[in-house]
Amino acid sequence: DSVDSGDSAVGQGLSDEQRQVVEAIREYIDENDMAPSKNKVIECSPFGSTRTNRVIDELLDLGAVVTDSDERYGNEATVFRIN
């Protein structure tokens, strides 16, 4: 059950910051075969946590990224997928 890293048209109309965070999510999925949690997105992002959180919120509002629920270490975790 592999995770689609989302090679769709995402990226068109996005700011440079938004594209960089989408690329960080895509790379995480490609390397780990699972969608990243918010903490993992922040770790992989070239920006700090405040800026990355703002960009994630923008991407969610635009529909470029969606949240999903996944079990990690016996707990439910919110993860991010490229839409």
Residue 2 in this model has a pLDDT that exceeds 60: no
* Per-residue CA distances from 70 to 26, 36, 40 (Å): 17, 10, 14
| Confidence (pLDDT) at 27 | 97
> Cα 41 from chain centroid?
6
- At 5-22, the pLDDT tens digits run 444 445 579 999 999 999
In this structure, the dihedral spanned by the alpha carbons of residues 17, 58, 77 and 81, taken in order and rounded to 10 degrees, is: -70
Closest CA to 61 of 27, 18, 23: 18
- At 18-63, the pLDDT tens digits run 999 999 999 999 999 999 999 999 999 999 999 999 999 999 999 9
